[in-house]
Structure 1
Amino acid sequence: MSIAIHSRQVCSASIEFLEKITLLAKDYNKKVIISTTFAQLLNLNELNCLKYLSIFDIEALNALHVELMISLGGDGTLLETTHYINDKAIPLLGVNTGTLGFLTMLSCSEAVTELIHFFEGDYAIEQRTILSLCGEHISDAFALNEVALLKRDTASLLTIDAYIDEKFITTYWADGLIIATPTGSTAYSLSCLGPIMLPSANNFVITPLSPHNLAVRPLVVPETAKLSFIVKGRDKDMLIAVDGRSIPAATQQRLVIEKAPFILKLVQLGHTSLFDVLREKLYWGMDCRKT
């Protein structure tokens, strides 16, 4: 079985991590393979572990026997890696070389130590809900964090008719609309005053972007709901952001967003909880005047 690593950037910490994890995996009779994207950023000839490494095409994960996928970078890299894993049920571990890192909680040094526990079977899997988006000429679009319905080439408001299980909710007059998972509740939705949901919550949240009516607030809905949206505007085009990936689309079409038929297996090592991350990253319970 192989340990796969994907990254979009190289730094001294990521190189040191690659060296150490490759030798550690060898001790447990595991092979480390790295994505072509990562390999192209590295000076392979300078790696001490080169003879133990293989390179793989991340688009061809189905053909590989991968026991664990490691995303090496920030949350954006992890979202990209999730897109490649899709429905393949490969456990994913986020290792942080960035700054914020809500999803990539472990540093490189912490990950090397904690991966010993993984190799020895001492780890937990968190099942994270995935969103599915379908529309005219749009299929197989999946998001771990959120789907955002956005303006494209106009400063005018969008008019968005929203439905839950074919029942009309309301018409949003806003700059856009975010539909977020519990995982995504601490991302784009949070910056637009959406609520924080625990990863285990069986809900989605609909968060308007700068709504015209100030009484329109974020709405929490069950993950079993089938959400439908019809977007109208002065412009015939709009933009749909799926975990940051932009999809140009036409307005006046029906967009359906619901729970995907598969989940992401997010590996949890160590004892860090969401509340630990909120205190560390968002300074919950801290008086910044005293720092």
Structure 2
Amino acid sequence: MSTPSTPERRFSKPPERIAFLASPTEIAQKTRHRLISTYGDTPLCDAELVVCLGGDGFLLEVLHKVAERGIPVYGLNCGSVGFLLNTMSDEDLIQRLTKAQASEVHPLRMNAIGRDGTRHEGIAFNDVFLFRQTRQAAKIKVEVDDRVRLPELICDGIIVATPAGSTAYNLSAHGPIVPLTANLLPLTPISAFRPRRWRGALLPSNAVVRLTLSEQEKRPCAAVADFMEVRDVAEVVVREDRSITATILFDPDHGLSERIIAEQFAE
């Protein structure tokens, strides 16, 4: 998700056609009904804005639904972490939406080939990763822009993350947090055994990463792009897809770039 535009206000006047989408949780559903009773509800196909009620995972689902339509998403945290969402409060909602600043992000595109030759394609606003399916460690050849960088990585898996996704699974695997404007994609191993000292790499956002599995029958791996999982893969290619842009709205002074910086100083 590199090279977003400088955050700016999305609306010059209060939005009128708002779609309210909520996760299945009780608090999210109750909040949706309360907001609809106050502001009404617009079908998603006619909306100029989506208000997303849930956690980070649900917001990612909504981004997958609306990114190609160009509809901005404003999230209200009804979940736990809420890194991509705003503080839950339905007071002065229209005023908050009018003042909200936009961050534009691009997903990764995954092209995976199964051991049986089948091809699978998916996009990810957080990350694409490989992970072993059995007790056996994975053996992965890592190529970047058609050049072999690691002939054999022995590990539990490997992650290619977007800058926004750098604070998710990538961070849990001890990968670096990347500012949105950095034009970089973290490449992070999961529990690397060999090379023992390799901790990953920062790649330019236009890099093409090819991951090829060795000993595929003995050491099967799954590939995951956000919510899409492909079992028993042989090869995975990952690149940024700049033909798709998702717009996430944040309250002023609480934008995504600020949150990524603040996360690096969190205790």
Q: TM-score range by the shorter chain?
A: 0.7 to 0.9
Amino acid at match of 1:220: L
Give the equivalent residue in structure 2 for 1:184.
165
3-state SS in 2 of match to 1:104 = coil
Give the equivalent residue in structure 1 for 2:20.
5
Amino acid at match of 1:239: A
Amino acid at match of 2:92: T
10-19 or 209-218, which deviates more? 10-19
Amino acid at match of 1:248: R
1:132, 1:141 within 8 Å by CA — same for their partners in 2? yes
Give the equivalent residue in structure 1 for 2:138.
158
Give the equivalent residue in structure 2 for 1:243.
226
**Pair 162,95 (structure 1): closer, same or farther in 2 beyond 3 Å:** same
Give the equivalent residue in structure 2 for 1:205.
186
Deviation at 1:105, TM superposition (A): 2.9
Following TM superposition, the consecutive aligned residue runs of length 4 or more in structure 1 with deviations greater than 6 angstroms are: none
1:71, 1:95 within 8 Å by CA — same for their partners in 2? yes
Give the equivalent residue in structure 2 for 1:113.
92
Q: What is the TM-score normalised by the length of structure 1? A: 0.75
3-state SS in 1 of match to 2:106 = strand
Give the equivalent residue in structure 2 for 1:51.
none
**Pair 226,98 (structure 1): closer, same or farther in 2 beyond 3 Å:** same
Q: Supply the RMSD in Å over aligned alpha carbons.
A: 2.6
Once the two structures are superposed, residues 201-255 of structure 1 have per-residue CA deviations (whole angstroms, 9 ceiling, x without a partner) of: 211111001111221112100111111111223536421121243222432xx32
3-state SS in 2 of match to 1:193 = coil
* Distance (whole Å) between structure 2 residues aligned to residue 9 and residue 101 of structure 1: 16
3-state SS in 2 of match to 1:106 = coil
Higher RCO, Cα 8 Å, sep 6+? 2
Amino acid at match of 1:240: A
- In the alignment, structure 2 segments of 5+ residues that lack a partner are 1-15
Deviation at 1:181, TM superposition (A): 0.4
* Distance (whole Å) between structure 2 residues aligned to residue 122 and residue 247 of structure 1: 41
3-state SS in 2 of match to 1:87 = helix
Alignment of 1:63-212 (within 5 A): 64-107=45-88, 109=89, 111-118=90-97, 121-136=98-113, 137-152=118-133, 154-170=134-150, 171-212=152-193
* Distance (whole Å) between structure 2 residues aligned to residue 96 and residue 126 of structure 1: 17
1:162, 1:230 within 8 Å by CA — same for their partners in 2? yes
2:250, 2:256 within 8 Å by CA — same for their partners in 1? no
80-89 or 94-103, which deviates more? 80-89
* Distance (whole Å) between structure 1 residues aligned to residue 72 and residue 149 of structure 2: 37
Deviation at 1:65, TM superposition (A): 2.2
Give the equivalent residue in structure 1 for 2:208.
226
Deviation at 1:76, TM superposition (A): 0.9
Larger Rg: 1
Which of the two has greater helix per residue? 1
- Identity of paired residues, percent? 25
1:180, 1:205 within 8 Å by CA — same for their partners in 2? yes
Q: What is the TM-score normalised by the length of structure 2? A: 0.81
3-state SS in 1 of match to 2:19 = strand
3-state SS in 1 of match to 2:68 = coil
- In the alignment, structure 1 segments of 5+ residues that lack a partner are 26-30, 34-55, 287-291
2:122, 2:228 within 8 Å by CA — same for their partners in 1? no
